[in-house]
Structure 1
Amino acid sequence: MLRFATSVLLFLSAVVAPSLSAEELVTCSGIVPMRYRDDKISITDFGGVGDGRTLNTKAFREAIYRIEHLRRRGGTLLYIPPGVYLTESFNLTSHMTLYLARGAVIKATEVFQYSN
Structure 2
Amino acid sequence: MGLNIECRVASGYEKLEYPDINCRKCIAILTDFGGVDDGKTSSTKVFPHAIGNLSQYAYGSGALLVVSHGKWLIESLNLTSHFIIFLQNEVVILTSQDELEWPLLHVLASYGR
Higher helix share: 1
Cα distance in structure 1, aligned partners of 2:71 and 2:82: 25
Larger RCO (CA within 8 A; separation ≥ 6): 1
For 1:84, which of 71, 83, 106 is the aligned residue? 71
Q: Kindly report the root-mean-square deviation, in angstroms, between the aligned alpha carbons of the 2 structures.
A: 2.9
Distance 2:59 2:85 in 1: 15
Q: Which runs of 5+ in 1 are unaligned?
A: 1-16
The reply to whether residue 98 of structure 1 matches residue 80 of structure 2 is: no
Bigger Rg, which one? 2
Give TM-score, length-normalised by structure 2: 0.67
Of all paired residues, the percent bearing the same amino acid is 32
Change (3 A) 1:19 1:44: closer
Paired residues of 1:58 and 1:114 also in contact (CA < 8 A): no
- Show the 5 A alignment for 1:1-116: 18=4, 20=6, 25-26=7-8, 35-36=20-21, 37-112=24-99
TM-score, normalising length: structure 1: 0.65
